């Protein structure tokens, strides 16, 4: 096994153990391998270990890598591509044909633009509403408070015929001890539970939270999607 193969297996084992510790079924946690800054060769190596979900955060980079990766993999076990970064409105048109999920819907305006572009392709796009639960001003996402803003965003996205709102996503603050991120993950889950009461007709099954440094805590708090880059691919050349 190469180092990257070992990394994937180690991450999958840690996900499984964290789920079991939390009394959850490991199959209820999906690994999204965040491949930003890493080459297609490495994506293919991770794919060969059975990983099917990958994440990118920049449209230009994705436009280079996704067609190449798809071409080299073929149609038997395709990658499901997740957009996890902030999506500028002028890049929506280019992003929509590339991605299967957009986890980073962080404004009503973006939801509207996405809906229009997806409609033109006659498909439905699974999306997550990105929420800023920590209140850090550097973070994208709809602020978790006041709740009225979140309710408005959910109502707006849920009303879009070509968007399929699957739940919530958050990027927790960078902390030295993963336990310090717990309250943010818990806050996202609590928000989701409130939304289920407020919008009883919606399911909102997904919580995308947890990265390399804190995914086990996130799973303990109910993450159904973890977005992991460095633990699989190694350190990135610079902070992105």
Ligand X SMILES: *Cc1c(COP(=O)(O)O)cnc(C)c1O
Binding site for ligand X (CB under 6 A): 34, 36, 57, 84-85, 171, 211-212, 227-230
Nearer Cβ to ligand X, position 154 or 169?
169
Taking the C-alpha atoms of residue 207 and residue 200, their distance in angstroms, rounded to an integer, is 17
Buried-exposed string 122-151: b where 16+ CB fall within 10 A, e elsewhere: eeebbbbbbbbbbeeeebebbebeeeeebe
Nearer Cβ to ligand X, position 156 or 214?
214
Q: Which residue is nearest to ligand X (CB)?
A: 229
Q: Which two tokens stand for residue 166?
A: 């699957």
Q: Which two tokens stand for residue 54?
A: 């990958």
Least distance (Å) between residue 237 CB and ligand X? 12
Taking the C-alpha atoms of residue 53 and residue 23, their distance in angstroms, rounded to an integer, is 24
Nearer Cβ to ligand X, position 162 or 209?
209
What is the distance between the terminal CA atoms of the chain, rounded to a whole angstrom? 28
Least distance (Å) between residue 100 CB and ligand X? 16
Least distance (Å) between residue 173 CB and ligand X? 12
Q: What DSSP string runs through 175-211?
A: -SSGGGGHHHHHHHHHHHHHHHHHSTT----EEE---
Nearer Cβ to ligand X, position 162 or 231?
231
Nearer Cβ to ligand X, position 153 or 171?
171
Least distance (Å) between residue 223 CB and ligand X? 12
Least distance (Å) between residue 36 CB and ligand X? 6
Q: Are 35 and 47 in contact (CB under 8 A)?
A: no
């Amino acid at each position: 096994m190469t180092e990257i193969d070992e990394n994937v297996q180690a991450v999958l084992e840690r996900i499984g153990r964290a789920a079991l510790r939390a009394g959850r079924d490991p199959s209820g946690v999906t690994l999204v391998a965040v491949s930003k800054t890493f080459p297609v060769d490495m994506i293919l190596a991770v794919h060969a270990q059975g990983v099917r979900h990958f994440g990118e955060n920049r449209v230009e980079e994705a436009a280079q890598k996704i067609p190449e990766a798809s071409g080299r993999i073929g149609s038997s076990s395709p990658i499901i591509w997740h957009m996890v970064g902030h999506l500028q409105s002028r890049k929506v048109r280019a992003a929509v044909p590339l991605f299967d999920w957009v986890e980073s819907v962080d404004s009503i305006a973006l939801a509207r633009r996405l809906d229009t572009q997806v409609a033109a392709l006659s498909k439905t796009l699974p999306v997550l509403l990105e929420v800023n639960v920590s209140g850090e001003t550097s973070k994208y996402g709809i602020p978790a408070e006041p709740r009225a803003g979140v309710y408005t965003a959910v109502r707006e996205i849920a009303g879009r015929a070509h968007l399929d709102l699957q739940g919530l996503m958050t990027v927790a603050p960078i902390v030295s001890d993963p336990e310090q991120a717990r309250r943010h993950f818990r806050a996202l889950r609590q928000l989701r539970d409130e939304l289920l009461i407020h919008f009883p007709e919606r399911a909102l099954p997904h919580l995308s939270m947890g990265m390399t440094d804190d995914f086990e805590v996130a799973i303990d708090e109910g993450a159904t999607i973890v977005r992991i880059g460095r633990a699989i691919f190694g350190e990135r050349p610079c902070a992105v």
